[in-house]
Chain A
Amino acid sequence: MYKIIGADGKEYGPITAEQLRQWIAQGRANAQTRTISENATEWKPLGALPEFANSFPAAVPPGFAPLLVGTVRKTNGFATGGMICGILSIVCCCGFPINIIGIILSLVALSQINRHPELYEGRGLAITGLILSVASILLFVVWLIISIASGNFNFNWNLNQFGQ
């Protein structure tokens, strides 16, 4: 027989292992749910009980699990986002909201990577994203100066000087 603490913080049970498996299947309990079995003295996460170990899908495939424990660093998600925004801000016409977002994401990524170099990689991505985003803003400034100086905001689409 087991007792668990539900998502609302209240205690439930005692229930049988069969009933508990049913609750897991219904999404009422998960691997983090605090559980106590009738002859145990302390609350444990449900995933730590060997009799329920196969009730939860493995978070990572077994072959990869040993690699993930501290040895392999994860690419920082903000770094990837910063790089994507950096590329888009150059390539997508005016690039405006994107280059600002790119700068923010890249800076967040850099600070996270600097704080936890053992957890994250992706410094190159973040720096490239930052450079591209800043270049996009510089491009806008140059364009603004040229436009104001020439008083001409009119643009022709087909302008490959060699092509057509």
Chain B
Amino acid sequence: MTPAQSIPPKISRQPSLGFFAAAIFGTAILGTGAMIFFFNPSTHKFYPICLFHAVTGLNCPGCGATRSFYALLHGHFQLALKDNALFVFTLAAAAIRGAWFAQRKILRKPTGQFISPKMLWLLLIIGGIFAALRNLPAFAFLSP
């Protein structure tokens, strides 16, 4: 029988850089979400303006995302899709990926990176196409 004082202490696990990044990101998302939930972006003026929109008059791929998020949080899916369809789909994809990722982490299976470089390039290209389309007269329904 080993005396109690000769048991080594537990090894404290160092949280990784990714953990901190995720924590900061998550807090920011939650805070922003709460603010958007309580203050309608269509009627409150304190939200930051889109610089691209302000300078060019065109809609950037993110224009309408705040209103889209507000609509989503209040359960208006059609309005959310109309305000920014790309945002809704990206959010859905991120949620699915997040759930998969969390499940793998809990089961201690290898996960790889949360976002792969290929996905980022894809997102950039789709964002560009989306921006081009929503500013064309024929695809004006993509604009908020």
List chain A positions with a Cβ less than 8 A from chain B: 4, 6-8, 10, 12-13, 15, 19, 23, 26-30, 33, 57, 60-61, 64, 75, 77, 79-81, 83-84, 87, 90-96, 122, 125, 128, 136, 139-140, 142-143, 146-147, 155, 157-163
Contacts and interface: CB of A to CB of B under 8 A. Distances in A.
A72 B42 CA distance: 49
Contacts of A83: 117, 120, 124
8 contacts: A8-B9, A10-B8, A77-B17, A87-B120, A92-B65, A94-B49, A146-B55, A162-B137
Nearest to A98: B28
A23 B8 contact: yes
A-B pairs with the 9 shortest C-beta distances? A6-B8, A91-B62, A163-B140, A94-B48, A160-B143, A93-B48, A162-B137, A7-B11, A139-B51
Given A7-B11, A90-B62, A160 B127 contact: no
A107 B140 CA distance: 38
Contact of A160 (B17, B51, B59): B59
Nearest to B144: A158
A4 B18 CA distance: 31
A80 B108 CA distance: 23
A12 B43 CA distance: 66
Nearest to B110: A61
B120 A12 contact: no
Most buried by A among B10, B50, B134, B144: B50
A29 B9 CA distance: 9
Contacts of A4: 8
Interface of B: 2, 6-13, 17-18, 21, 42, 47-55, 57, 59-62, 65-67, 108, 110, 113, 115-117, 120, 123-124, 127, 134-137, 140-141, 143-144
A60 B67 CA distance: 43
Contacts of A142: 55
Contacts of B9: 6-8, 28
A23 B6 CA distance: 12
Contacts of B110: 60-61, 64
Contacts of B55: 139, 142-143, 146
B134 to A, nearest CB: 7
A125 B119 CA distance: 11
B52 A90 contact: yes
Most buried by A among B7, B48, B59: B7
A11 B60 CA distance: 62
B11 A29 contact: yes
Contacts of B2: 15, 19
Contacts of A125: 117, 120
B57 to A, nearest CB: 6
